[in-house]
Amino acid sequence: MVLYTNSMTKMLITGGAGFIGGNFVHYTRKHYPNYQLTVIDKLTYAGNTRTLEPVMDKIEFVQGDICDRELIDKLVSETDIVVHFAAESHNDNSLRNPWPFVETNIIGTYTILEAVRKYNKRLHHISTDEVFGDLELDDPNRFTETTSYNPSSPYSSTKAGSDHLVRAWVRSFGIQATISNCSNNYGPYQHIEKFIPRQITNILSDIKPKLYGTGEQVRDWIHVDDHNSAVHLILEKGVIGDTYIIGADNDHVNNKQVIEMICELMGKGKDFYEHVNDRPGHDMRYAMNSSKLRNELGWQPQYTDNDGMKNGLLATIDWYTNNRDWWQAEKMAVEKKYAEQGQ
Ligand code: NAD
Ligand code: DAU
């Protein structure tokens, strides 16, 4: 087993043309320039090779499906570490058509686990806080590594299933894996179907931002670079078989306050948005207790508290403003799909 080193470690990144995986590729190129990176991505509607354009000549890019056993077998045999981001990731889509979620999130993860087992490679599995279900709005508790699983949507239930597979492969077959469950990410290269980039690109397109229902739901927002610094720390120092919660303590703002913040930061009145249909089964509140990661591994997020979130949002607004080429062609189709559901 090759340990996490600063030399010529080979790393296979699944879903590296997506939002968090793409940012992880950039983060790794910057902080671990000696690593040899291979990205495998199916390039679904959510994958975008333009995200990797600045580093394409420094990585190997393979377009392929994580459910393809032969391909995964080959790629895993050639690497030292697998960081598994690839997934169907959007709750709203999982309510319309759950099958791709079952296929990629469960069968895809199974396929990776079998290859990792065969070649005895180090795996880090990326997961979500949504596996725990939700908290009541007035519940002061936060999710921890021992909170029971209680997922609400087809998306979160398939992510929960994938986490259980990883744990079972650790216990039954002794594979060298860790898991992290992170809260809602924001930052550059996020698909414009998601809450924060949808509202920013709405304003940039002269469309009113759209708030589901009353907007009292709470998400524990984290900047994608903070997520990715935590993943590297877990790869470096995490205990094999352990799970780590990742969160930046931003569970004090609800969706309504976030949309108001975006409107104000973009020079609009704070009420420059409209209410649209709520999401069926909408989770109320997520909140993360990341003390294990902070106390045992020494992790510290950069974008925390009100100022941190404001700075992170400002940088994200700048990015979407300056990178219209990355999102503009898709904007009308995304909004049309939402409009069909009154959203
Ligand atoms: P994303 O939808 O932006 O990217 C997913 C990527 O996976 C895309 O590039 C897509 O083409 C690729 N992909 C999908 N199916 C594939 C398949 N069968 N084979 C190969 N590639 C495939 O998602 P994201 O927001 O970057 O999320 C990445 C991971 O992080 C997911 O596992 C998600 O569950 C998890 N996560 C996301 C968040 C968040 O806030 N976005 C928070 C916590 C955890
Ligand atoms: O919590 C982690 C999860 O965060 C990840 O596992 C998922 O992959 C990721 O998509 C995200 O899930 P959410 O469903 O919380 O994110 P989304 O951006 O879709 O919505 C965030 C909140 O904003 C949610 O309460 C719904 C609301 N919303 C969303 C959209 C798209 C709106 O009010 N208006 C919108 O237009």
Collapse the DSSP code of 122 into the 3-class scheme (helix H, G, I; strand E, B; otherwise coil) and give the result: strand
Please give the residue that has the higher pLDDT: either 235 or 306: 235
Structural contact between residues 5 and 19, judged by C-beta atoms closer than 8 angstroms: no
Q: Does 227 contact ligand 2 (Cβ within 6 A)? A: no
Q: Where are the domains of the chain?
A: 10-191+220-252+285-303
- Please determine, for residue 179, whether its predicted confidence score (pLDDT) is greater than 50: yes
Selecting among 130, 193, 260, 283, the annotated active-site residue is 130
Rounded to the nearest angstrom, the distance between the alpha carbon of 114 and the centre of ligand 2 is 31
Index of the ligand 1 atom closest to the CA of residue 104: 18
Question: How many Å lie between the centroid of ligand 2 and the Cα of residue 37?
Answer: 29
- The predicted-structure confidence for 312-326, as pLDDT tens digits, reads as follows 999 999 999 999 999
CA distance 180 to 330: 31
Q: Is 189 a catalytic residue?
A: no
The tally of CA atoms less than 13 A away on the side-chain side of residue 289 is 10
Atom of ligand 1 nearest to the CA of 67: 18
Q: For residue 343, give the ligand 2 atom closest to its CA.
A: 36
The rounded Å distance from CA 236 to ligand 1 centre is 22
End-to-end, the C-alpha distance of the chain in Å comes to: 49
Check if 38 has its Cβ closer than 6 Å to any atom of ligand 2. no
Residues 65-117 have pLDDT tens digits of: 999 999 999 999 999 999 999 999 999 999 999 999 999 999 999 999 999 99
155 given a catalytic annotation:
yes
Cα–Cα distance for residue pair 274/221, rounded to 1 Å: 22
Note the pLDDT of residue 304: 86
Using the Cα atoms of residue 112, residue 115, residue 117 and residue 119 in order, give the sign of their dihedral. Answer: negative
Digit-coded pLDDT (tens) for 253-280: 999 999 999 999 999 999 999 999 999 9
Average pLDDT, the chain: 96
Check if 128 has its Cβ closer than 6 Å to any atom of ligand 1: yes
How far apart are the C-alpha atoms of 116 and 50, rounded to whole Å? 29
The pTM of the full predicted model, rounded to 2 decimals, is: 0.98
Q: What is the pLDDT of residue 2?
A: 47
Residue among 171, 49, 36 nearest 113 (CA):
171
Integer Cα distance of 8 and 81 in angstroms: 12
Pocket test for ligand 1, best of 19, 50, 224 (most atoms within 8 A of CB): 19
DSSP three-state, residue 284:
coil
Supply the residue whose CA is at minimum distance from atom 31 of ligand 2: 195
Pick the CATH number of 10-191+220-252+285-303 from 3.10.20.740, 1.20.1250.20, 2.60.40.10, 3.40.50.720: 3.40.50.720
At residue 7, the pLDDT reads 66
* 126: pLDDT strictly greater than 70: yes
CA neighbor of 37 nearest in space, from 300, 302, 232: 232
Angle at 226 between CA 320 and CA 32, to 5 degrees: 95
Residue whose CA lies nearest to ligand 1 atom number 5: 18
The closest of 190, 193, 232 to 17, measured between CA atoms, is 190
* Contact predicate 159/175, CB 8 Å: no
Write the pLDDT tens digit of every residue in 1-47: 445 555 689 999 999 999 999 999 999 999 999 999 999 999 999 99
